[in-house]
Amino acid sequence: MKKAFAILMLLGLLLAMLAPLARAEENTGVTTDEMSSILEQSTLLVQLKQKVAQIQYRYTLLEDNLASAEENLKEAIDAINNLNVIIANLDEQIKDTNRQILNVKSQKESNNMELQSLQEEVKDLEQQMEEEKQIVSGLMTLLYMKRGIYYTEEGVNPVKVLASSGSVSETLQEITYLNTIAKEAKSHIETVTQLSVQLAETWDEIHTKQDELDLSDSKLSGELINLETERNHQIEILDETVAEQSILEAMLGSADDREGDLSSEIRIYQSNIEMLEKKLSDSSALLSEDQKAVIAQIQSDMSLQFSVTDASSNLELDWPVSPGKGLTAFFHDSAYQATFGVDHYALDIRANQGTEILAPAEGIVQSVVYDPQSTRYAYITIAHRMGVMTLYGHISAPAVAIGDYVTRGQLVGYSGASPGSVGSGARTTGPHLHFEVWQDGIRVDPLKYLPLEELNLEDVPAEYMSQVQAALEGQIVDLQNDLN
């Protein structure tokens, strides 16, 4: 709109200046029609020079960006190599943990067999103990009944011995027998006690070992889960980095063609400029000084309408999803880097899972990376005019295919990023759209291409507030003009 308004102003200026040129006709040999032709050629010459400046700017931008893109590609390749080393180490740790788990399970199985064997021994031992108890019980009964005949609390009672019905010799033999039985009973009691202690110690040892093996098995299983989770996380990051590498390689691969196209455009425009300059040079000899001054003023006024800002003007993009819910991360966002440990080359636009993603401008679908059975990072890229490409990350489903031509506002896919959902990838904490803009092979701040007045003011970075204010003021002026 600004450019169209500027062109209308210039046309009005030309019409206003034709009057003095017509009056000057009587002092020269140039007709009004010839004078109009000279003016048109002068105007066209300025426009061609402006166009060349734009193309040269883009050519310079492309060459500058190529160095950055190559550096980014090198960093991506280094990151991929590093991730492959990390994943290989995790694979080895997983293998080692699995071996340890198998070893523990083998020990548990062996321990269970020992436990079963011990349980059999326990049964035998319990039977043996029962038999020993019966023997001891019989001996103790005999001792209890017989020892009272000859013994008191102090020991053998001589009076009881002499009072015995048998001979002294027989009585002493009987006492000796009773002492032997007492010793035998004591021996059996000691055997039963030792068997009980041994059984308890063995039982405790095996159960303690079983508890230790169970704890070790549980700990190793937890470590295995953590290792496998970390491995899957690193693989998802690897997938995203490989995707970035593919985009960079595609950009760099087409850079030569873009440089050739821009160089060809510059040559064509330069040729036309030289032709027009020669024509105007031949015609200038027929003009009066006043006419030359007017044409010079027109050229000067047109040049004032053109600046480096025009040469660097961006392709205007619409928001792919409404920014009304706010932005969760900005380009080169320090908070994002603190959370995930990597730089952020995009805008994260808050959007519900499954929100429609609309093409911000016409273009050709360059890539669709999506697996409906996987949570790995899914994305779409679209190539637009003026060396611009856009990327939509964490998509839950695409609505286009590679090679499709899309128009501004056309549905291209659906947003995602809910952790663990299809296409979400590794680095996400909630549903949103990850939106990147690439300019001539390098990622740039998407806010430079989007209408900032659609943002909530609290979401606008400080460096963009002046642009938002100017846009809002322009809207107010337009409304006032409509009311008038």
Among 316, 315, 317, residue whose Cα is nearest residue 358: 317
Span 326-450 CATH architecture: Distorted Sandwich (2.70)
Most confidently modeled range among 16-30, 179-193, 227-241, 370-384: 370-384
pLDDT of residue 302: 55
Q: Please name the residues in contact with 266: beta carbons below 8 A apart, sequence gap of 6 or more.
A: 52, 55, 56, 59
Q: With a cut of 80, say whether residue 415 has pLDDT above it.
A: yes
pLDDT of residue 338: 77
Q: Which residue has the higher pLDDT, 203 or 232?
A: 232
**How is residue 484 annotated by DSSP?**
-
CB 388 within 8 A of CB 438: yes
Q: Which residue has the higher pLDDT, 130 or 483?
A: 130
Query: Which residue is listed with tokens 């911000």?
Result: 360
> Biggest alpha carbon distance in the chain?
181
pLDDT of residue 6: 42
Residues forming a β-bridge with 391 = 381, 436
Question: Average pLDDT in the 149-176 region?
Answer: 49
Give the containing element (helix H, strand E) for 4.
Answer: helix 2-23
What's this model's pTM, rounded to 2 decimal places? Answer: 0.53
pLDDT of residue 276: 77
pLDDT of residue 11: 44
Q: State whether residue 424 is helix, strand or coil.
A: coil
Name the residue type at position 209: K
Question: Average pLDDT in the 77-99 region?
Answer: 91
Q: Which residue has the higher pLDDT, 165 or 268?
A: 268
CB 150 within 8 A of CB 156: yes
Per-residue pLDDT tens digits for 368-390: 999 999 988 999 999 888 778 89
Q: With a cut of 90, say whether residue 72 has pLDDT above it.
A: no
List the domain boundaries for the chain.
1-313, 326-450, 453-484
Q: With a cut of 80, say whether residue 433 has pLDDT above it.
A: yes
- CA 150, CA 153: separation in Å to the nearest integer? 10
Per-residue pLDDT tens digits for 106-152: 888 887 887 777 777 777 767 777 776 676 666 566 555 555 544 44
- CA 393, CA 321: separation in Å to the nearest integer? 12
Question: Average pLDDT in the 218-238 region?
Answer: 87
Count of all residues that appear for the chain in the document = 484
Share above pLDDT 70 across residues of the chain, in percent, rounded to a whole number: 67
Most confidently modeled range among 56-65, 320-329, 337-346, 349-358: 349-358
pLDDT of residue 431: 95
Q: Which residue has the higher pLDDT, 335 or 211?
A: 211
Q: How confident is the model at residue 311 (pLDDT cuts 50, 70, 90)?
A: very low
- CA 424, CA 322: separation in Å to the nearest integer? 20
CB 14 within 8 A of CB 44: no
